[in-house]
Structures are given as C-alpha cells and as structure tokens.
Amino acid sequence: MKCRYILPLLILILSGCSAEWHLSKAVKKNPSLLKERITIVTDTVVVEPIAVRDTVTLSKVDTVEIVKDRFRVKIMRSYDTLIIDGGCDSDTIIRTVTVSVPQLVSGESRLQRVQRYTFWGLISLLLIAIAILVIRKSVKI
C-alpha cells in the first residue's frame, strides 16, 4: 500500500531538470545560439548652439564675415552702428560603437553527470525492487 504512494512521489522528486540541462538541449536543437553576435549601437549627441551678439557705433557701411570650423563671426557696419553677430552652429555627433556579445557556454558539468547517473541508478534500483516484489508474490501463489 505504501509503495503505491512512494513510487509517484519519488518520480516527481527525481524528475526535475536544471536550467543548464535545458540550455544544453536548446543548443542541440539550435547550434546558432553559440555563435558570437555583434551588436551595433548608435549614439547621437546634439550640441546646443552658442550665440554672441554685440553692437559698436562707428561710421561707414561694410560687412565682414569670418568662418572657422563651426565658429562664425559676422561684423556689419552701417554708418555709425557696428553689429557683431557670432557663435557656434548646433551640431550632431553620431558615434557608432560595436559591442561584441559573448557566446553562451554550454556543456554538462560534473555535478550534472553525477545527478543524472544517480537518478537513473535510483530508477534502476526501484524497478529491480518492484520486479522482485512481483516475482515473490507470483511464487507464493
């Protein structure tokens, strides 16, 4: 009578599988999981514009513009007014970074092998014990 409850309980307890076991099964089904993948990340930085404006009073009419890299200065002279307009234009910096994703490491560890052999050993002993009980009952009759 007790054997009827113990057997299903033992099967439930011993039938659990580790995550590594499931991972190794998944790798067997899809070996591309072990391939190294490269992910490209694009990072965008926007630099805010810088503006400077000043006025100086002089005579004559003239305009001078100086541009170097991103910085520009424009000097406008209109009779007795001098207008200085300058600054840095806004800029967008795009940086592409290549990130190498490490591959999965799969394989059966020593502990997994011991657990697997222990499980199948216990199942074998259990089946032998059940066979002996059945043989003893059939011989008594």
In angstroms, the CA 68 to CA 117 distance is 76
Cβ of 28: how many Cβ atoms within 10 Å? Answer: 10
Query: Which residues make beta-bridge pairs with 88?
Result: 50, 71
> CB–CB of 66/73 below 8 Å?
yes
Average pLDDT, the chain: 76
Q: What is the pLDDT of residues 20-73, one digit of tens each?
A: 777 778 888 888 777 777 778 888 877 777 666 666 555 567 777 777 777 788
Is the pTM here over 0.75, yes or no? no
CB proximity list for 50: less than 8 A, separation 6 or greater: 87, 88
Domain ranges for the chain: 39-101, 103-141
> CB–CB of 93/10 below 8 Å?
no
